[in-house]
Amino acid sequence: MGSFSAQADEPYLIPLVPNHVGLTAKKYPSLCWMLPKRPPTAERITFTLRDDQSVKSILEAELLPSSILNAKQRTCHCVNLKEYDVQLEPNVQYKWFIAIIQSSGSLSGDILAGGMIERCEFQDCMVFYESWGCNENEVISLARSGLWYDSISCICDLLKANPDNEQLRRILDRLMKDTGIILVDP
């Protein structure tokens, strides 16, 4: 789940996820995606989080489409679970989805993408990684250590603070390519 290529006739919505269950050490991680191009229409954008033990959603949230769809350049969009007071339990797999609802009258045109995440216990995560921070050097180390979601949320935060930083864009492109996500600007 999560390997997409965005070209002229391909997805509008790309979750920043590995092709397996991604790990986080955070109780309140951020879950991120990109819109490589603007969808034809968007009536609503929703975020859903479910665990692997129940059918009922843990979180269903309506996102502001204007702030997401009016971005001037390709950028990360994230849902930080702390803003919704939703904490991930350790060793539980969760599925999350972003849906771009194009028409409430028909589901056939909706755009849906997402990924899977699991929180490891802090002491277990320390096996993967021994330094915690968010800067250019830490992003690749976090990803190599298996903490994909922590790496992606860090690079997205850095890009939001420095949207014109080409080095950060290259790091994000490298992470995405290493995971099988290839963006081709139209």
Does position 13 have pLDDT exceeding 50, yes or no?
Answer: yes
Cβ neighbors of 11 (< 8 A, separation 6 or more) are: 4, 36, 111, 113
Give mean pLDDT, residues 107-129. Answer: 76
Walk me through the domains of the chain, giving residue ranges and CATH numbers.
Answer: 5-178 (2.60.40.10)
Q: What is the pLDDT of residue 126?
A: 60
Tell me which of 91-95, 128-132, 143-147 is least confident. 128-132
Give the pLDDT band (50/70/90) at residue 3: very low
Does position 48 have pLDDT exceeding 80, yes or no?
Answer: yes
Higher confidence at residue 86 or residue 127?
Answer: 86
Query: Which of 49-63, 116-130, 132-146 is modeled with the greatest confidence?
Result: 49-63
Does position 179 have pLDDT exceeding 80, yes or no?
Answer: no
Give mean pLDDT, residues 155-180. Answer: 88
Task: Express each pLDDT in 58-113 by its tens digit.
Answer: 999 998 877 677 666 667 899 999 999 999 999 999 999 998 887 766 666 788 88
HEC letters along the chain: CCCCEECCCCCCCEECCCCCCEEECCCCCEEEEECCCCCCCCCEEEEEEEECCCCCCCEEEEECHHHHHCCCCCCEEEEEHHHHCCCCCECCEEEEEEEEECCCCCCCCCEEEEEEEEECCHHHHHHHCCCCCCCHHHHHHHHHCCCHHHHHHHHHHHHHHCCCCHHHHHHHHHHHHHHCCEECCC
- Name residue 86's amino acid: V
Q: Residue 41 half-sphere exposure, CB side, CA atoms within 13 Å?
A: 8
Whether this prediction's pTM lies above 0.85 is answered by no
How much of the chain exceeds pLDDT 90, in percent? 37
Q: What is the pLDDT of residue 87?
A: 95
Does position 156 have pLDDT exceeding 50, yes or no?
Answer: yes
Query: Which of 75-89, 114-128, 140-154, 166-180 is modeled with the greatest confidence?
Result: 75-89
